[in-house]
Amino acid sequence: MTVKLFVTAIVFVLIMVGAMYHFVQPGKSPLARSTTGVTVPPGEEVENNSQLSRWWRRFQGDGEPVQANNSATVATAPEQPTCKRVWQKGRSSWFDSRFDENIRPVWSRANIELPADARKWWMSLQSKKDEDPAPLLNALFDMGAPDVDPWATHNLTGCLRCAVVGNSGNLKQSNYGEEIDGYDLIFRMNDAPTKGWEKDVGHRTTHHFMYPESAINLPDDVSFVLLNFKPLDLKWMKTALTDGSITRTWTNVKGRIKTDKTKILVYNPAFFKYVNDKWTEHHGRYSSTGSLVILFAVHVCDEVDLYGFGPNKHGNWNHYWVPDSSYHGAYHKATGVHDSDFEHLMLEKLHSEGIITIHRGNAD
């Protein structure tokens, strides 16, 4: 009798263990099939997360069950964004044949000595005599202007996204403001007013590109990037921060300006020549401010987006802060020393090759 009871007990335990094991298997029990109140299609396994299942998996030594195919409870890792890194070769043979990373856009102590051909070409633009620019540049460095290139090397752990904001009338009613303000670096040039135009052009600026004839006061959090077309521009930059003694170049200029001297950067004349040789290909006497800033961005940024370039919806090449009625047709397109048609084609080519992205505003 005792033996019978013992055998019966053993059989009962084995039956219960087998039933329990069957009960917690994926897709076999009601709990496993309907833990979220959703009928599971045949063949689709959803892991049961009940206390019984967790106990049984621990008993088996497998740890906690892993939930799979259950969008209501599984948090997927965010997809890592890709970074274009426009300066990397291999995307476009047209771009690769022109791009030279060895010529840096920032003039620093490391590249203070200009190549002879670059110096001769730069001096011929607006200067009447040849003079050594190194002492003029060193004078700015001694005053506190940075003497190193902040983008001498690329940071591969991040993605530096830059917006180059032109002054075209196609920015009117574009509602680009919030979008523009979201970039890491925001480059503007010449007048570029933002107050009252924030909805269309944004309010942030990190770098403002100007020359003496277009200079304006800047807040302390904005870097003045000097587009120096001649040695006199370097002299003006120094006096504009000190005694204000230079008030005229080829036209009247501000004697003094307000800007943080520790954020002043100087555009490299050798890079001027490189843009003229390789990108605008000697069309016009020298490249426009817009092209100079865009190619600057292409060499320091990972991604480059353009706003405010090209005509507006009426085909006029006007400024966004000027009434449309002030311009007719392509009046503002011709500047005399630049070939705007060729430069426009160059920008379109950069866009079509996937190097930059052009946002056309109200011209779309």
Q: Please tell me the distance from the alpha carbon of residue 273 to that of residue 282, in angstroms, as a whole number.
A: 9
Where a domain ends, among 37, 60, 83?
60
Hey, which residues are catalytic here?
Answer: 286, 338
Cα distance from N-terminal residue to C-terminal residue, the chain: 95
Question: What is the domain-level CATH number for residue 178?
Answer: 3.90.1480.20
Cβ-in-10-Å burial (0-12, 13-18, 19+) of 74 comes to: exposed
Same domain? For 177 and 262 the reply is yes
CA torsion angle for 123, 126, 129, 131 (degrees, to 10)? Answer: -50
> Angle between the 231-240 and 134-143 helix axes, to the nearest 10 degrees?
20
pLDDT of residue 75: 40
Per-residue pLDDT of the chain (364 residues; tens, 9 = 90+): 555 555 565 655 555 555 554 444 544 444 333 333 334 444 444 344 444 444 444 434 444 433 433 333 334 434 446 899 999 999 999 999 999 999 999 999 999 999 999 999 999 998 778 889 999 999 999 999 999 999 999 998 999 999 999 999 999 999 999 999 999 999 999 999 999 999 999 999 999 999 999 999 999 999 999 999 999 999 999 999 999 999 999 999 999 999 999 999 999 999 999 999 999 999 998 999 999 999 999 999 999 999 999 888 888 888 999 887 655 444 445 556 889 899 999 999 999 999 999 999 987 7
8 Å CB contact between 70 and 54: no
- Whether residue 200 is contained in a domain is answered as yes
Structural domains in the chain (count): 2
Over the Cα atoms of the chain, what is R_g? Answer: 33
Same domain? For 330 and 186 the reply is yes
- Whether residue 83 is contained in a domain is answered as no
Domain that holds residue 45: 2-60
DSSP assignment of 341-360: HHHHHHHHHHHHTTSEEEE-
8 Å CB contact between 301 and 155: no
- Whether residue 76 is contained in a domain is answered as no
Q: Please give the biggest Cα pair distance in the chain.
A: 124
List binding-site positions for substrate: 126, 167, 190, 250, 286, 290, 310, 319, 338
pLDDT of residue 67: 40
